Structure 1
Amino acid sequence: MFLICAKNKLCYYKYPIFYVWENTNQLIYSLFSTQQKLSAFDLYTSPEEEIRIIVHHWIRTLNIKLGWIKDFDKLVVNYASIVFMFDTFLSSKLINTFTGHTNWVRSIDYSTFDDCQFICSGSDDTTVRVWDVDNNKQIRLFNGHSKPVFCVKFSSYYYHNHHQNIICSSSSDNTIRFWDFKYNKQLQIFNGHTNGVYGIEFSQFNGGKYLCSGSYDNTIRLWDVETSKSLHVFNGHERAVWCVDISPVQSNINNDNNKMNNIGVINGNGYTICSGSFDNTIRIWDIETTKQFNAFKGHTNYLRNDKTVRLWDIRSGQQTQMFNGHTSIVWSVEYSLFLIKNSSGNSNVICSGSRDNTIRFWDIRSNKSQLYVIKEDKIEAEILCLKYIELKKKDKTCDLNLCYGSGNGSIRIWG
């Protein structure tokens, strides 16, 4: 496994490209783009002191100023000392359960603030809740939404720029709301969508200053978190947009510096939004131009309703793998950093959660093999959302754990 430093030849800025991440789960994904000139070194064989030297060398020689992350060197050193083997995870067990929601838990997120670990959750019971992981208890409950809450995210932008502990939530009441869970108050509301808002995601560039959202009104919007303004509307989906993500993969639709809009994205244009819809398509959009540059077609029913998990090549738009095994709706999928022994290359593991009450793990490089199944035996325990989290232990090391929300209102951590 390698750490990658990249500088884009097509970039209009002199600085190399570094993307913002919240934890080491996103490290390699955040730094990598196929359009960039890459420098790499082996994380497994390079000693920690050598890693520190390389990081500081990058800072000096590349004159990095924009979007720099203060904890970069700490994250790299920490990551280099951790290897998550899937064989170890096979012996894991349920280690924690959080109860309080009275309906489906649609979304969860994890973050650390001031050395404390938190999980936030959104539910069909219309509430947003915050949980103290270290003390295993609920510490906040927000009741501002009038309909089910579909997605929740911790905001890195508010923490790093204003030292505020902020959660963002989206709901079928057509709104996106920001909550200060340190001072237990609602901070702001984004209005603009004309129907329910399902998926939301913060940008990895500019420290999370931008937010994208997908809605039942068939549109995607890009927002400025600081000003609360809606910057762009993306039109093209024929039905509701269920989920969105912002990717460092560049579209290269617009390489003309004079045609850039006024978003002011650090390190150039070309960043993309990925969206999944009830129209059975996944689409990729260029953030700067709002143009769609690719659409993935293959799912036969509302994406997840065909019971399959599919892997796509972003550049070609082609499906590369299809995983069968679930017996009902697939609600959620998640990548992990697990490695598999005796497997060629750097194998990647993905997991999926389903209405069939199971979480299934798949090796994407070993002939579509299903690796492992976690089965929930409780009634109405369908798996609605998944999140890999790196829980800190008392000795300051980290374990890779799986957190998931279910149809019976519980949140569980497996590890």
Structure 2
Amino acid sequence: MLCVSMVTAVRTESTMRLKRFLLRYFPPGIILEYEKGGELKTKSIDLLELSPETDVERLVEEIRVAEPLITASRSQQVALLIRRLQEKLGQPEQRRFYLFKVLRAHILPLTNVAFNKAGSSFITGSYDRTCKVWDTSSGEELHTLEGHRNVVYAIQFNNPYGDKIATGSFDKTCKLWSAETGECFHTFKGHTAEIVCLAFNPQSTLVATGSMDTTAKLWDVKSGEEALTLSGHSAEIISLSFNTVGDRLITGSFDHTVSVWDIPSGRKIHTLIGHRGEISSAQFNWDCSLVATASMDKSCRLWDATSGKCVATLTGHEDEVLDVAFDSTGQLVATASADGTARVYSAASRKCIAKLEGHDGEISKICFNAQGTRLLTASSDKTSRLWDPQTGQCVQALEGHMDEIFSCAFNYEGNIIITGSKDNTCRIWR
């Protein structure tokens, strides 16, 4: 039976009226737009285990039983949407990427790259104290975001909206910018050491920043005021991320622990204790049931997000684990290590299903495309590589950078890649 995850509605059909369906390809799901008490609301039906082989009629029946907004008269419409999702999932992944442009992006090495949700533009951060906004289709520079007094290290769009950019700097401040005009809306001041990680909440109302001062702070996007300070770690915070709902934040620290915080109260719910080395990365899966943590102790751990209990220790690497990523459905976990290899594990069985070998240097970044059909790695060997996560086969090496690659990213469609390097350039691959 396919597991259908959804926000359960109270059975008050008389007060709720379905307006329309929206399709979400990655991860597969159907968004219901409905009216309740004169207000327009949305809820999602997540079809995380959907495959081309799923029995559609049976699935529609399961959805109807669980969701009062889906009446008998809507069944065929829902079946049609599910078949469209199946079609998308069934498309073979055979794309080969070619170098489209080399951008002499900055006068000093790059720190990070990031796409907006549409993939129409991307940003680069640099040791030269700036962040630049680029047009993906032409490779033209749209804006230079100037004002920081030290390295611009952490950068992000407020996806899915993509109209704002946050930049975190070694100058201890975070700045909020207009993606359209390059205007600086706010400078968030309060940290007493370098900011090394940041994230927007899904609603784009808050920016979270993590600092070497051992604290994380939340900032109000509208007012520019500090909303919360999250204290409790005894060493630097180097990783943070929101869950997909926005009511939880995780912070990973050099104190070997990860904290789970309730938002907006700022209360610490769990401390994830068990690693024997510094945390390098921490991520939620899509349905917020699991947290994955990567550590300098050569392991990755999976934790139950509700109880805070460790449910698996993923071993096999011979050196520090530098990055971890879930695929969009949360069924696969990928790890990148200083040992020059990456690994793919099943989140359900917790077994290693593929070992990715081929890099000649440490792998600092790893990410899935939205479809979950390809993995992208960035390495100190000056290459980025594309992998089949099921077989571990390297399907393409992206070569040409003159120095180590720090950062890499797919656009949402999975047909464009950006790589950022210590050689001061970034490359667009299509």
Task: Give the TM-score range, shorter chain.
Answer: 0.5 to 0.7
| 1:411 paired residue number | 426
Structure 1 position 399, deviation (Å): 4.3
The answer to whether the Cα contact below 8 Å between 1:305 and 1:329 also exists between their aligned partners in 2 is no
Q: Output one character per residue of 1:126-170: Cα deviation in whole Å (capped at 9) or x when no partner.
A: 1110101112211111211110101111225876xxxxx321111
Q: Which amino acid aligns with 1:389?
A: N
Q: CA RMSD in A?
A: 4.7
Conservation of the 8 A alpha-carbon contact between 2:276 and 2:297: no
Give the drift of 1:244: 1.1
8 A Cα contact 1:132 1:139, kept in partner: yes
The 3-state SS of whatever aligns with 1:387 is: strand
Q: Which amino acid aligns with 2:101?
A: N
Q: Deviations over 1:24-56 (max 9, x none)?
A: 55667x99xxxx9977484647999xx99x999
SS of corresponding position for 1:221: strand
Letter in 2 for 1:208: S
Q: How far did 1:172 drift?
A: 0.8
1:374 aligns to what? 397
Structure 1 residue ranges without an equivalent (≥5): 16-22, 63-74, 160-164, 250-264, 266-270, 341-348, 391-397
Closer/same/farther in 2, CA of residues 96 and 167 from structure 1, 3 Å limit: same
Please tell me the residue identity of whatever aligns with 1:231. Answer: A
Encode CA deviations 1:331-365: one digit per residue, 9 max, x unaligned: 3232334556xxxxxxxx64442333344567777
SS, match of residue 82 in structure 1:
helix
User: Cα 1:276–1:406, aligned 2, differ >3 Å: closer, same or farther?
Assistant: farther
Structure 1 residue 309, shift from structure 2 partner: 7.3
Sort the Cα spacing of 1:359 and 1:228 in 2 relative to 1 into closer, same or farther, 3 A: same
Contact 1:282–1:297 (Cα < 8 Å) also in 2 = no
1:88 aligns with 2:94: yes
Where do 1:14-413 residues align within 5 Å?
A: 25=26, 40=47, 42=50, 44=52, 61=69, 81-83=87-89, 88-89=94-95, 91-111=96-116, 117-156=120-159, 165-204=163-202, 207-248=203-244, 271-287=247-263, 288-295=265-272, 297-298=274-275, 300=277, 303=280, 306=296, 310=300, 312-315=302-305, 316-317=309-310, 318-323=312-317, 325-326=339-340, 328-338=361-371, 350-359=375-384, 369=392, 371=394, 374=397, 376=399, 378-380=401-403, 382-390=404-412, 398-413=413-428
In 1, the alpha carbon distance for the partners of 2:363 and 2:400 equals 17
Separation in structure 1 between the aligned mates of residue 64 and residue 299 of structure 2, nearest angstrom: 41
SS in 2 for 1:208: coil
Paired residue type of 1:140: H
Query: Structure 2 vs 1, CA of residues 339 and 126 (structure 1 numbering), >3 Å: closer, same or farther?
Result: closer
Task: Count residues in correspondence.
Answer: 342
- Residue 217 (structure 1) shift: 0.7
Q: How far 1:124 sits from its partner (Å)?
A: 1.0
Query: What is the deviation of 1:111?
Result: 1.8
The 2-side partners of 1:77 and 1:142 are apart by: 44
Shift of 1:328: 5.0
Q: 1:353, 1:384 within 8 Å by CA — same for their partners in 2?
A: yes
Conserved? CA contact 1:331–1:353, under 8 Å:
yes
Q: Which has the bigger relative contact order, CA under 8 A and spacing at least 6? A: 1
Which contiguous aligned blocks of 4+ residues in structure 1 show a shift greater than 6 angstroms?
A: 36-39, 45-48, 54-60, 75-78, 362-366
Which structure: greater strand fraction?
A: 2
Structure-1 separation of matches of 2:273 and 2:384:
25
Indicate how the Cα distance of structure 1 residues 80 and 108 shifts in structure 2: closer, same or farther if over 3 A, else same.
Answer: farther
- TM-superposed CA distance for 1:389, in Å, is 0.7
Q: Deviations over 1:361-414 (max 9, x none)?
A: 677777xx565573645432x121222213xxxxxxx44433221111222233
Contact 1:174 / 1:195 at 8 angstroms: preserved in 2? yes
CA distance in 1, matches of 2:371, 2:148: 37
Which range is displaced more, 288-297 or 182-191? 288-297
Which one has the largest radius of gyration?
Answer: 2
Give the Cα–Cα distance (whole angstroms) in 2 for the partners of residues 282 and 45 of structure 1: 38
Distance 1:363 1:312 in 2: 22
Bigger shift: 75-84 or 132-141?
75-84
* Cα contact 1:285–1:294 (8 A) shared by 2: no
TM-score normalized with structure 1 length = 0.66
Q: Alpha carbons of 1:376 and 1:247: their partners in 2 closer, same or farther (altered >3 Å)?
A: same
| Deviating more after overlay: 310-319 vs 181-190 | 310-319
Which residue of structure 2 lines up, in the alignment, with residue 262 of structure 1? none
Q: Distance in 2 between matches of 1:364 and 1:296?
A: 29
Counterpart amino acid of residue 241 in structure 1: I
Q: TM-score, normalised by structure 2?
A: 0.64
Between the aligned partners of 1:308 and 1:386, the Cα distance in structure 2 is 22
Question: What corresponds to 2:37 in structure 1?
Answer: none
Distance 1:138 1:27, change over 3 A: farther
